[in-house]
């Protein structure tokens, strides 16, 4: 049995605990949280698990094989460094770190120590995203054109980070997984219209190689919940609507072709193509269960996780650049 | 009877002709188009109307009281200037002109000549937009926060202008009508991913006074048709979905309030409010019919149209700034 | 040119006139209506067409090749009989006649006279229904199980017939076209809850051979418009939603198989199958235009129309039986 | 603490156990199930609860105050009678019993013994149904006209009862709660198209006083999930769509008024009214939690539950009549 210890039992930690506990090869060995209330809840659910209220005591337990960190992003780097320093495998919540250099250092450290490090980009493990990846890899979409997603609702207002750091990591990690293309620059716009310095609604544009572009719209202040993602290529286009109970992914055989005509160099010839739409059957599993499985496999076999440090770093790079662009009202920031 | 002549019988012109013809005070006196085919169609529909295939002949007819211009934007300024010079009232398609100075000149000219000039921002005359205006003016939304619209489908690719010049005038004119707030700067991003210099998908951010912000997403290359507009205030939020056959406008009694607590200056207190939603009954008329009515009233009474030259100029300013920002990957362009 | 005369220029007649007029082989020779107002409208639209206000004058014109009848159902038999007696081809609105014997007599007469008789079951000519027919004929659905449709909105209340005679002919004719299976009995229920003897909302059940069943729900008094039709087989199931602007037809690879197990005769084994869904591309034409084309072809080539007298008779049989069942609160009425 | 014992830990029982366990005044004293596997699951979740595998042992425990029965309907009567005979309060799953006389006997017995008996019509305790009840009681709908519901999906095929006994109790109990009007007769149609004597798709019509009518469409064999309920009155109409994540209940200010005109006794005057729609905010609680609360209150205060034996009996009456009508292809069965 692999002994896993979890730091952070707030909003997301309980989901990790539930999945770790359910995995046949993992033992949920200890849970650490500063809040006595949260530890009490943990104790009721997992009477056999060791509960600690500070990091020193947590790390004193040398029996641990793996550390999972589900705390605010500002604490990720310190806690993760310590885990790797002590030779533990690492499950790290997203966004990976606050700074690019921190993410780079963790990558190096995990490699130097020969330890598995997974960054929890959960959506990558959903049936929907996996099916879209499969469709793209088969070449069905043709040449990729754009990624356009909206993630909005009347959501939890965070007090210390902009909406971009809270919601966009989902979209950026999905996009980077589906479109592993070199990112060149970021432009981000938004307003802190409640006058508190926090931006609750923002737009990101990510410029990529080959004129591929991504638009990401994130908001904590929408009257309705929206989870729409468009992924378009020259041959087909996908709409992935995560609010749908079924038919989450629709593949449209629609496209447009442009070419200059010989007769008239100034005129384009535009050709539309409209065919069938289909909604593929999706795997029906909990993403976190699959991700936990994959994590254990990687630990056992020494493989690199799909959502590894490099994937986490890519997200951090874009977030850091976004913040800079946001502060200058959309001026593009180079990330190539 | 007021005699009206129409230049341009392509995509939109026939709709104007139909509405002008149906109005009891207007006589559809002449139609001008370069294309013989188009004139033939016009002749079949309006046997009594004079058909001309060039502008000189069109303007030679001194009986005309009003000129309506429904030609490509690059020709607007010349044609409109001539109409006003000759003392005609003017119905001008959107966008009003290519350049800011041209729009300003037409405004001055129409005033100097004492002639009515309407810029055809059709959506302003829809039952939906009029109802939203009424709701805002009653103060139901509280303080305005943002405007966010998406206008997308697999649409007509234009060969000479970016998608911004084609589709965004709708959204900008609606927004400016609903939120008559000082505009400060524009950031626009997009890619010409078909490699022909034309941007078929773009994002606009318009910064306004009081931290109000607008996000406008326009696209010719979407697999599905989208016509979503969100207009949010501190008290209520509106979703206007123009693709719905009914319940186009929904008013959500939802909001969020933030204030710093006395106890802890670093912490915000966030309060959510969720109440009923309602979908008001909308007037059921053709927007162009109402607009034609309004135009005739303005001519008869010397009133200024709702969508007058100043409204047209505001749109042109934002379009011109957008183009500049687009060329520099989102760098904001001042318009204050 | 085939000379066609139209009787009835009320709600549906103008659509016929428009399509007849647009067909290259048809000449819209005359229009007959009792109402001077309606004739005036007709005259404005078709200045070249002969207008008559009574049937005697209409039939006095011996030049006519074809008669189209778009009047209330109570007049169909007399008008149609006369047209056939005079040797005209016939386009007859649905429902074909009030009584079964009348429909049978018209079928005999049209055959005796060697004339083409089309009953206007318009929906059979839509891209959606034609595509569904194609799918069924390829055997994609497996063995047919059921047809279930709802046709409802806040609609035109008729004063002389129940909602069944007004709306159900659409569904019955679609069903009969898609499922040409022997009909056995009909049960119909409803209430005249406005106390005027007219039933504005009703349910039909049609029992067919091989345990196939149809449920048809029609209503003039629904707060929302519904046009849902389910057609299910053992292999696949179709949802046809005519209110959708796109993706009107969805084919679900879903089914259930039941068989008794050997081990336990009292227990069934149930197996579910869930696969992809697809929405086929549909032909994009006006149904009436295609139907007009088909009618002209049938006249020219002596073929029998798809929606011929037998199809019309089938609908009348079911309507007549429905009325009888409705009057006895659902008691089944034999139609085999 | 009130000691409660639960018989049946299959599909629904675990939901009862969870809610009983969470209630501050209830002690989940014992769980009884024939299946060792189910008892093992129960033991893991409720280590403190007594587990028994037969009814004799279950009832031997005299400490019990309340018995909850969540077993197949064929066992309800015997188990419930025994519980009441032994002086226990009773929570009984729906449908209450197989036969009308059995339900009547249980009602008498519970009254004779002075014990609380609740029939678990869960939907009556949802925020949606409670809001609709409130709207109806305020008179907003005017005079009631009809109830029309569809409950369909690719659902669990039952081997011993028709779909009517499985799904319709939900709709009948909601309808009876919202429209406490005298029921007169039932007509039911369906087909056992898998050839196994079980009807997986059926239509019910329930005739009520004052020409009020209910149509209920239930199906285990639909490609999509449907949970639509329409409740219409002369003034307003409600659409309750339980598949919506928000805006489950919509109230339409739509109606139609008919009256005979003085001028012409043969003609009706029809007046349509279309106004705003609104979606009221709904209570956000688990229905079972509220129902458990209500049950405990009733036990403590000697009040009759909202979903009492009489409510359960009404459902059984309609189900029994439906079966009879189903066997005769829709022939109406009197229940007045």
pLDDT in tens, C219-240: 999 999 999 999 999 999 999 9
* Tokens standing for residue A284: 């029906």
Instruction: Kindly determine whether residue C201 and residue D330, on different chains, have CB atoms separated by under 8 Å.
Output: no
Half-sphere exposure of D270 (CA within 13 A, CB side): 18
Within 10 A of D193 (CB to CB), how many other CB atoms are there? 21
User: How far is B160 from B166, CA to CA, in rounded Å?
Assistant: 10
Residue from A68, A122, A147, A38 nearest A312 by CA: A122
pLDDT at residue number D16? 98
pLDDT at residue number B272? 77
Residue from D162, D315, D155 nearest D227 by CA: D155
CATH number of this structure's domain D124-284+317-334, picked from the four choices 3.30.360.10, 1.10.3720.10, 3.30.450.30, 3.10.20.340: 3.30.360.10
User: How far is D126 from B117, CA to CA, in rounded Å?
Assistant: 58
Give the pLDDT band of residue A193 (cuts 50, 70, 90): confident
Residue-wise pLDDT tens digits, B19-73: 999 999 999 999 999 999 999 989 888 888 999 999 999 999 889 999 999 999 9
pLDDT at residue number B265? 47
Among D145, D187, D238, select the one facing C189 at the smallest CB separation. D187
CA-based nearest residue in chain C for residue D195: C211
> How many Å lie between the alpha carbon of A95 and the closest alpha carbon of chain B?
22
Give the pLDDT band of residue D265 (cuts 50, 70, 90): very low
* Tokens standing for residue D225: 């999930």
Give the pLDDT band of residue A244 (cuts 50, 70, 90): very high
Residue C139: strand, helix, or coil: coil
Among B277, B280, B281, select the one facing D279 at the smallest CB separation. B277
Residue-wise pLDDT tens digits, D197-227: 789 999 999 999 999 999 999 999 999 999 9
C2-122+288-308 CATH: 3.40.50.720
For residue A53, the cross-strand partners are none
Block residue for tokens 């309808």: D175
Phi/psi at A207 (5° precision): -85, 135
Asked if D190 has any chain C CB less than 8 Å from its own CB, the reply is yes
pLDDT at residue number A158? 73
CB contacts, 8 Å: A193 with chain B: 145-146, 210-213
Rounded to 10 deg, the angle between the A36-45 and A13-22 helix axes is: 20
Asked if A275 has any chain C CB less than 8 Å from its own CB, the reply is yes
Mean pLDDT of B207-225: 96
Mean pLDDT of D111-131: 98
CB contacts, 8 Å: B247 with chain D: 277
Opening angle at CA A113, ends A112 and A117, nearest 5: 100
Residues 6+ away with beta carbon under 8 Å from D188 = D164, D202, D203, D204, D205, D321, D322, D323, D325, D326, D330
- What chains are in contact with B, requiring at least 3 Cβ pairs below 8 Å? A, C, D
CB D81 within 8 A of CB D56: no
CATH number of this structure's domain A2-122+288-306, picked from the four choices 3.90.180.10, 3.40.50.720, 3.40.50.2300, 2.30.30.140: 3.40.50.720
Pairing of strands B2-7, B66-69: parallel
Mean pLDDT of B159-175: 92
The percentage of residues in chain C with a pLDDT greater than 90, rounded to a whole number, is 85
- Residue C317, pLDDT above cutoff 60: yes
- Residue D247, pLDDT above cutoff 80: yes
pLDDT at residue number D161? 83
Instruction: Kindly determine whether residue B245 and residue C246, on different chains, have CB atoms separated by under 8 Å.
Output: no
A124-285+317-334 CATH: 3.30.360.10
The number of angstroms, rounded, from the C-alpha of B162 to the middle of its chain's C-alpha atoms is: 16
Return the residue in C194, C217, C244 with the most chain D beta carbons within 10 A, the one to mutate for interface testing. C194
pLDDT at residue number A265? 47
Pairing of strands D237-241, B237-241: unpaired
- Residue C265, pLDDT above cutoff 60: no
Residue from B270, B227, B220, B229 nearest B251 by CA: B229
Which contiguous run of DSSP H or E holds residue D120?
strand D117-120
- Residue B263, pLDDT above cutoff 80: no
Residue-wise pLDDT tens digits, C21-40: 999 999 999 999 999 999 99
Lowest mean pLDDT among A280-294, B262-276, D156-170, D310-324: B262-276
> How many Å lie between the alpha carbon of A33 and the closest alpha carbon of chain D?
25
The percentage of residues in chain A with a pLDDT greater than 70, rounded to a whole number, is 95
- Residue B267, pLDDT above cutoff 60: no
> How many Å lie between the alpha carbon of B112 and the closest alpha carbon of chain C?
43
CATH class of B124-286+317-334: alpha beta
User: How far is D70 from D85, CA to CA, in rounded Å?
Assistant: 18
CB contacts, 8 Å: D274 with chain B: 281
Pairing of strands C2-7, C26-32: parallel
* Tokens standing for residue B279: 């979908």
CATH class of D2-123+288-307: alpha beta
Phi/psi at B288 (5° precision): -65, -30
> How many Å lie between the alpha carbon of A70 and the closest alpha carbon of chain D?
26
CB A25 within 8 A of CB A85: no
CA-based nearest residue in chain D for residue A243: D245
For residue B213, the cross-strand partners are B146, B207
Mean pLDDT of D13-22: 95
The percentage of residues in chain A with a pLDDT greater than 90, rounded to a whole number, is 85
CB B73 within 8 A of CB B316: no
Half-sphere exposure of C63 (CA within 13 A, CB side): 12
Domain ranges for chain D, please list them. 2-123+288-307, 124-284+317-334
Asked if C278 has any chain A CB less than 8 Å from its own CB, the reply is yes
CATH class of C124-283+317-334: alpha beta
Residue from A59, A8, A1 nearest A28 by CA: A1
pLDDT at residue number D230? 98
The mean predicted confidence, pLDDT, of chain A is 93
Give the pLDDT band of residue D263 (cuts 50, 70, 90): low
CB C93 within 8 A of CB C120: yes
Return the residue in A128, A140, A241, A278 with the most chain C beta carbons within 10 A, the one to mutate for interface testing. A278
> How many Å lie between the alpha carbon of C26 and the closest alpha carbon of chain D?
38
- What chains are in contact with A, requiring at least 3 Cβ pairs below 8 Å? B, C, D
If 0-12 CB within 10 Å is exposed, 13-18 middle and 19+ buried, where does residue D222 land? buried
Residues 6+ away with beta carbon under 8 Å from D245 = A225, A243
Give the pLDDT band of residue D262 (cuts 50, 70, 90): low
- Residue A264, pLDDT above cutoff 80: no
> How many Å lie between the alpha carbon of C58 and the closest alpha carbon of chain D?
29
CB contacts, 8 Å: A225 with chain D: 245-246
- Residue A38, pLDDT above cutoff 50: yes
CB pairs under 8 A between A and D: 8
Instruction: Kindly determine whether residue D232 and residue C221, on different chains, have CB atoms separated by under 8 Å.
Output: yes
ipTM given for this complex: 0.93
Residue-wise pLDDT tens digits, D160-178: 788 999 999 999 999 999 9
Block residue for tokens 């591929």: A212
- Residue C134, pLDDT above cutoff 60: yes
Phi/psi at B331 (5° precision): -55, 130
Residues 6+ away with beta carbon under 8 Å from D171 = D149, D151, D216, D218, D229
CB contacts, 8 Å: C237 with chain D: 221-223
Is the model more confident about B158 or about D118?
D118
User: How far is D199 from D166, CA to CA, in rounded Å?
Assistant: 11
CATH class of B2-122+288-303: alpha beta
Within 10 A of B119 (CB to CB), how many other CB atoms are there? 31
Q: Which of residues 196-255 of C touch D (CB under 8 A)?
A: 196, 198, 200-201, 203, 205, 207, 210-213, 215, 217, 219-224, 230, 232, 237-239, 250, 252, 254
Instruction: Kindly determine whether residue D225 and residue A246, on different chains, have CB atoms separated by under 8 Å.
Output: yes
Residue from C20, C151, C10, C122 nearest C72 by CA: C10
CA distances (Å), origin C181, targets C184, C206, D7? 9, 11, 48
pLDDT at residue number C310? 98
């Amino acid at each position: 049995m692999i002994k896993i210890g979890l730091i952070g039992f707030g909003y997301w930690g309980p989901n990790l605990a539930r999945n770790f506990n359910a995995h046949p090869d993992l033992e949920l060995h200890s849970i650490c949280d500063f809040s006595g209330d949260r530890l009490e809840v943990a104790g009721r659910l997992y009477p056999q698990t060791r509960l600690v209220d500070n990091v020193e005591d947590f790390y004193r337990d040398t029996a641990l094989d793996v550390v999972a960190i589900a705390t605010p992003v500002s604490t990720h780097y310190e806690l993760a460094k310590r885990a790797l320093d002590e030779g533990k495998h690492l499950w790290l919540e997203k966004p990976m770190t606050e700074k690019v250099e921190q993410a780079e250092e963790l990558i190096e450290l995990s490699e130097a120590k020969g330890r598995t490090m997974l960054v929890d980009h959960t959506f990558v493990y959903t049936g929907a995203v996996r099916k879209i990846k499969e469709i793209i890899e088969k070449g069905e979409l043709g040449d990729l054109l754009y990624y356009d997603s909206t993630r909005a609702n009347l959501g939890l207002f965070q007090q210390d980070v902009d909406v971009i750091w809270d919601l966009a990591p989902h979209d950026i990690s999905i996009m980077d997984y589906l479109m592993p293309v070199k990112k060149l620059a970021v432009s981000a716009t938004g307003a802190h219209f409640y006058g508190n310095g926090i931006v609750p609604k923002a737009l990101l544009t990510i410029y990529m190689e080959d004129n591929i572009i991504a638009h990401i719209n994130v908001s904590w202040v929408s009257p309705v919940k929206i989870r729409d993602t468009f992924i378009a290529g020259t041959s087909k286009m996908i709409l992935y609507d995560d609010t749908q109970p079924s038919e989450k992914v629709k593949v449209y055989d629609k496209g447009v072709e442009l070419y200059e005509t010989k007769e008239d160099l100034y005129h384009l010839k535009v050709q539309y193509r409209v065919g069938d739409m289909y909604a593929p059957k999706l795997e029906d599993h909990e993403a976190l269960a699959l991700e936990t499985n994959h994590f254990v496999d990687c630990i056992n076999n020494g493989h690199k996780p799909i959502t590894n440090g490099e994937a986490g770093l890519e997200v951090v790079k874009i977030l850091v650049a976004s913040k800079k662009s946001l502060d200058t009202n959309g001026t593009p920031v180079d990330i190539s």
